[in-house]
Structure 1
């Protein structure tokens, strides 16, 4: 029986380093004495477990589990980074790594390429979406975890790696020269119409501000007179990059964000330091519930200065700042050291992790949220992310569409189509013809994609409640009649929801020919938030009214 729990191991505060130094402090300092005492207990515990436990144990693994369990008690963002994970951490902060330039993952139980990055070794060598990995160098990787294959593919720039993949019935082998891979923070920018520019910002790694600046200057040279900056699904990153992006649109010397923590050394005020690229261009920032951290700094600061209209959904609400602190043996800890406050003075952290609760979150109730005002006097609130000025309605999809995508039928048909068609029109011109759709429907014959519709699920719930509350016998006949009427027909749903299934097919097929940039470009036409932005741009009085209103609905 294994009786060591994660929580019991979490007695420790860190590895055994520095125990002797800590013991040099006297017991007068109760806090330091308590730390030293518990470290000694932890060291003794691990040592005795290693000696006496009935089975062989991996002491290093247990210590790591203990460290991670301890940090989980604090917040989700404080984490231990061992030496072997340093490359992955560097990728998150810099956007750079040595490798072949491809996103890989597991689909249909097979490890394969999900997206080769344009211009990098994998794409240049002709590897495609859907290529299944067989070997990397001499290692058979068919049963390996995706993370293990990723490690094999990565390595110093200008070194070679052998890759063997399966494509349909063919086996393809290539030698790839690893390169320094720099993932752009702006995978796409372009013109939505003659007047409107669009910039998609997906990360805040090194050079994020430079990437946005270059895109903005290029779009202005093409004659745009208004701009949409899209930070939806952007998890954030380097704070300095967020400050510089805000600086593109507001004058020099303005406060963008301040950090306040327990230590004086982490208290800082970040101001704009340069002249803006354009402080007057009408600006919309698109946000959603997955816009976090640096994304919220950009959106919140521009909202506080009434410089942009925010459209979309309320953001995630991450107002915590992390600092990387080096530890021994090339490990490090990313620790929450401060909270950040945007120009109006509000902190938009949504969850108070210091309050231990049985509930999944300790969100601040609306009644305790504090009111602040923007530069023009608009009312905004702290404590729950950044709220948009204009909400976007949530788009829903039919159960059949979800099923076809989730069961990878759309993905697999994309592989089939790509093998049979050498080229397709540009992303904005390409559409799924009725002939292609009919081919897809025929290809689905015999494949499993059953699902439960919303109405069917509602009837199932009604039947359960009726049985529980003793009404079932009274309405049994009516329920059975309703069931027969609403039992879905997959064939009919393929007709009823043809347009949205076509849209899912289009995105998948476009990715095969035009990669990530093409998928983004193709999606612009049917993007509700973009259409909403253009409608507001086309009503200058409404735009000005939103930015100058003396109150803001909560």
Structure 2
């Protein structure tokens, strides 16, 4: 009887399920084919009939990029030029000038020259504005000027740049630039705690962390602080390998989940660990993202490390570059990251947007609870919430606006040239310096452009379009003045935070990034707190429930 029903009942259900999948697939395929036909017909019709000459390549480029922008910030299309221009060598090596540069409002600025690399050897400093490369005047150059600073090793590039109002010349000799994943490591002042900075997850990240760990253990380290602050992430397998240094083989570190089953994966440690028992603290902040959050989240869920700092960024979307025709490429978000306890790292939900078109964020009251390996309660909600949260690790909105608008950066440039002889001496940012900073902002007519101020300016722009700006001019100026007074108070309220940001930037001008990290080993509150916890066995074990 059982066999009979098995044939009469179960088989039709299976057949029905295959029929359902087949129909669903056909419907999806038909809808895609239908929309493609509509778009192709429209694109051809417009190009053939529009009153003026149009560039089909530019139109298509804008159409595709606008379409993808509605999904999330990480799904991007790269045309042929983009692929050549932006292809990243994940090995961490490239040939160039060895400096961080930015282009804002058409100006190419040296943000940070790396010590002993070509830009540094040529005498370039942070704040220098490159205005000409070879025979190319950058005022008229609309493409990516960074491409003009790349080439074969030993290529000589003549440049002109502005510094403090003066026009200067230099010749840069291009060389191989090896970007370190671990730019700094050392023993802390207690002589028993090792400190490792991991700034990115390139192909050498785990090998460099391993090298630093073994060297510090040889130097007497019996505890480790791993600094992931400001680390934007990188290669997933390197995050797994770094966890593997501290956790056993065959341990689940992260899973990825997607609507497409082929993108559902579980990533486990593959090797024997270096040290299962050394006490470990991991530092994170609001700029620790992606692979950084995988490491912090896994080590937290496995009760292997105490996490210190501020909630991490919350970038839990996985991208994969896919080749298209004619040398183009699309980077597509294919899945989401989940920590070993099952927490989703992603903070913003791009599939659900508010009335202004912004992705929604889960409110704290709606966070879900999860359990670590030893039963500790942890929560999702996006990013990794530290075991020890510190106000010093959080960035206020006013400080974020100062950093984004280069207020901190530009003041540090002026400070450097007014105080050229500090050398290796750690400067002190005094209350008078803070007063000078506020005066500098006024002199430069610096716009803080906080969210509220931007919204107010947008309101005025709309009012001008509707030709009602004159009728609300008085009220607008009153509101703007009130807002600026509030911002002035916010500057004073966050004085210590801003002074610390100024000091960090100023130290880099004299002693490069290595000098900043060296300063951190004795003076950074997050490192001090982490070291304190590691040196208190009772407190450390209590946090991890050992």
What is the TM-score when the length of structure 2 is the normalising length? 0.77
The count of residues paired between Structure 1 and Structure 2 equals 488
Which of the numbers 156, 159, 178 marks the counterpart of 1:160?
156
Counterpart in the other structure of 1:389? 387
Cα offset for 1:242?
Answer: 0.3
Name the CA distance, whole Å, in 1 between partners of 2:303 and 2:205: 23
Counterpart in the other structure of 2:378? 380
Counterpart in the other structure of 2:5? none
Which of the numbers 178, 182, 187 marks the counterpart of 1:182?
178
1:67-216 residue pairs with structure 2 within 5 A? 67-87=64-84, 89-91=86-88, 93-105=90-102, 110-142=107-139, 144=141, 148-168=144-164, 171-193=167-189, 194-216=191-213
Name the CA distance, whole Å, in 2 between partners of 1:248 and 1:437: 44
Name the CA distance, whole Å, in 2 between partners of 1:275 and 1:171: 57
Counterpart in the other structure of 1:226? 223
1:284-323 residue pairs with structure 2 within 5 A? 284-323=281-320
What is the TM-score when the length of structure 1 is the normalising length? 0.76
Name the CA distance, whole Å, in 2 between partners of 1:329 and 1:266: 26
The question of whether the paired residues in 2 share the 8 Å contact of 1:400 and 1:493 is answered with no
Cα offset for 1:99?
Answer: 1.5
SS of the aligned residue for 1:98 comes to strand
Name the CA distance, whole Å, in 2 between partners of 1:379 and 1:27: 41
CA-atom RMSD, angstroms? 4.0
SS of the aligned residue for 2:348 comes to coil
Counterpart in the other structure of 1:65? 62
Cα offset for 1:158?
Answer: 4.0
Cα offset for 1:545?
Answer: 0.4
1:13-24 residue pairs with structure 2 within 5 A? none
SS of the aligned residue for 2:351 comes to coil
Which 10-residue stretch deviates more, 169-178 or 309-318?
169-178
Cα offset for 1:92?
Answer: 7.0
The question of whether the paired residues in 2 share the 8 Å contact of 1:91 and 1:97 is answered with no
Which of the numbers 337, 344, 359 marks the counterpart of 1:361?
359
1:354-396 CA distances to partner (integer Å, 9 max, x unpaired)? 3455362333455665432111111223343222111111467
The question of whether the paired residues in 2 share the 8 Å contact of 1:323 and 1:335 is answered with yes
Which of the numbers 533, 539, 543 marks the counterpart of 1:542?
539
The question of whether the paired residues in 1 share the 8 Å contact of 2:181 and 2:198 is answered with yes
The question of whether the paired residues in 2 share the 8 Å contact of 1:432 and 1:502 is answered with no
Distance 1:211 1:82, change over 3 A: farther
The question of whether the paired residues in 1 share the 8 Å contact of 2:129 and 2:161 is answered with yes
Distance 1:451 1:294, change over 3 A: closer
Name the CA distance, whole Å, in 1 between partners of 2:496 and 2:354: 46
Counterpart in the other structure of 2:410? 411
Distance 1:303 1:132, change over 3 A: same
Cα offset for 1:213?
Answer: 1.6
Distance 1:182 1:338, change over 3 A: same
Counterpart in the other structure of 1:339? 336
SS of the aligned residue for 2:255 comes to strand
Distance 1:494 1:422, change over 3 A: same
Name the CA distance, whole Å, in 2 between partners of 1:156 and 1:265: 40
Distance 1:436 1:517, change over 3 A: farther
SS of the aligned residue for 1:134 comes to strand
Name the CA distance, whole Å, in 1 between partners of 2:332 and 2:59: 21
1:329-358 CA distances to partner (integer Å, 9 max, x unpaired)? 221111122223222233333334334553
Name the CA distance, whole Å, in 1 between partners of 2:308 and 2:443: 40
Counterpart in the other structure of 1:479? none
Q: Given the alignment of the two structures, is residue 371 of structure 1 paired with residue 369 of structure 2, yes or no?
A: yes
Which 10-residue stretch deviates more, 54-63 or 505-514?
505-514
Name the CA distance, whole Å, in 1 between partners of 2:514 and 2:404: 21
Which 10-residue stretch deviates more, 375-384 or 260-269?
260-269
SS of the aligned residue for 2:361 comes to coil
Distance 1:259 1:400, change over 3 A: closer
The question of whether the paired residues in 1 share the 8 Å contact of 2:408 and 2:501 is answered with no
Counterpart in the other structure of 1:465? none
Cα offset for 1:127?
Answer: 1.9
Which of the numbers 421, 426, 429 marks the counterpart of 1:430?
426
Cα offset for 1:35?
Answer: 1.8
SS of the aligned residue for 1:291 comes to coil
1:147-198 CA distances to partner (integer Å, 9 max, x unpaired)? 6321211234443322222334654433323223232222222233222222
Cα offset for 1:294?
Answer: 0.9
